[in-house]
Amino acid sequence: MKIVVFDGYSLNPGDLDWSGLNEFGEYTVYDRTGSNEIIERAIDADVILTNKTCMSDEVMGQLPNLKFIGVLSTGYNTIDIAAAKRRGIIVTNTPSYSTNSVAQMVFAHILNITQQVAHYTDEVHQGTWERSKDFCFRDTELTELTGLKLGIIGYGTIGQAVARIALGFGMEICAYTHKSFLQIPREVTVLSLDEIYKQCDVISLHCPLDEHNQGMINAEALKKMKSTAILINTGRGGLINEQDLANALDNNVIAAAGLDVLSCEPPKSNNPLLKVKNCYITPHIAWATKASRTRLITIVLDNLREFHSGGAVTNNVAK
C-alpha cells in the first residue's frame, strides 16, 4: 500500500516514530498540506492519514486508489463521511487517546485560576515578593476547591476522568448528560443545563460541537452563572460565543475562564478574548502530551492493521 500523511507535524514534530507504518507499505510524511497540494501528493495513495487537512467529496473523486482515510484525532468533521461511505472508503478516528491529558489540562486551568499561579510567578520575577514587608506576598483572593461544585457538561470519557480528579480535591460533582441514571455513579448529581449554570462554581465543557449547541455559552447562559464562576473549555471553541464571554469577563458577570480551544485556530488578532481580563488561553495543547500522542499513533496503527487484514475495522466511522 502507498500511505500519505498529510499533516504529521502537530502529532509528531520529531520526538515520535512513524516507522510502524513500514508494516503496511511505503509511506510519505508531510508536515503540512495545503488544499491545493492534496491531489498531487495523494494521487496514487491507498491510505491517507490526516488531521486538519479536509477531505471533500470532490477531492476523494480525484483519488482513484483511495480506500482508507485515518483521522489523526477523535473528531472527524474534516471528512465528508457520507461521500466516503458512498465511495466505499473506510474512515477511522482515534478515540480516547487523550482522555488523561485533557483531564489534566482542565485542572491545570482550574488550579492556575484558583491559586493565581501565573500572576504570582510574574510578581515574583518582577521583584514584588522581594520588596514585601512580610514573609509572603498576596494581593488576590485564593480559592480552595474542597466543597466547590463542579458542573461537567457532557459526561463522556473525558468528563468522567475530570470527575474522578475532582473527587480527589473534595469537590461536589454535577453533570449534564443524556446518559441513563443507571450509568451515573452515586457521587455525581445529574442536573439540567440551567441548574448547572446557576449552581456550579466551576463549569467544564466536554460535549461535542453540533448545530444544536453552537454558541451555547452565550450572554443568556453567562448571566445565569455565579459572579464567582469559573468557565473551562477544553472541548470545542465553537461552544462559546466569544464576544459574549469577553463582555461577561470585562463586566464581572463571571470571575474567570480557562480555554484551550477557540472558534478559529490559530486565533485572529481581533479575537476579543485575547485582550480581556481574567481569561487564560493555552494553544490547543491539552491533547499533546507525549504519552497521549504515542497512544494516538498506536491506535492509528491498530486501525490500519485491522483494515490490512481484511476484517472488521473497529473505529470505522463511515459504516
Q: Which residues, in sequence order, are bridge partners of residue 4?
A: 28, 48
Can you spell out the DSSP letters for the chain?
Answer: -EEEESS-TTT-SSSS--GGGGGTSEEEE-S---TTTHHHHHTT-SEEEESSS-B-HHHHTT-TT--EEEESSS--TTB-HHHHHHTT-EEE--TTTTHHHHHHHHHHHHHHHHHTHHHHHHHHHTTTTTT-SSSS---S-----TTPEEEEES-SHHHHHHHHHHHHTT-EEEEE--S-GGGS-TTEEE--HHHHHHH-SEEEE-PPP-TTTTT-BSHHHHHHS-TT-EEEE-S-GGGB-HHHHHHHHHTTSSSEEEES--SSSSPPTT-GGGS-TTEEE--S-TT-SHHHHHHHHHHHHHHHHHHHHTS--TTBS--
Q: Is 144 known to be catalytic?
A: no
Phi, psi values for residue 232, rounded to 5°:
-120, 135
Name the active-site residue from 41, 87, 284, 305.
Answer: 284
Q: Is 119 known to be catalytic?
A: no
Name the active-site residue from 23, 26, 130, 265.
Answer: 265
Q: Is 32 known to be catalytic?
A: no
Lookup: cell for 126: 518582577
Lookup: cell for 135: 514573609
Residue type, 202: V
Name the active-site residue from 236, 242, 293, 295.
Answer: 236
Residues with catalytic function: 236, 265, 284
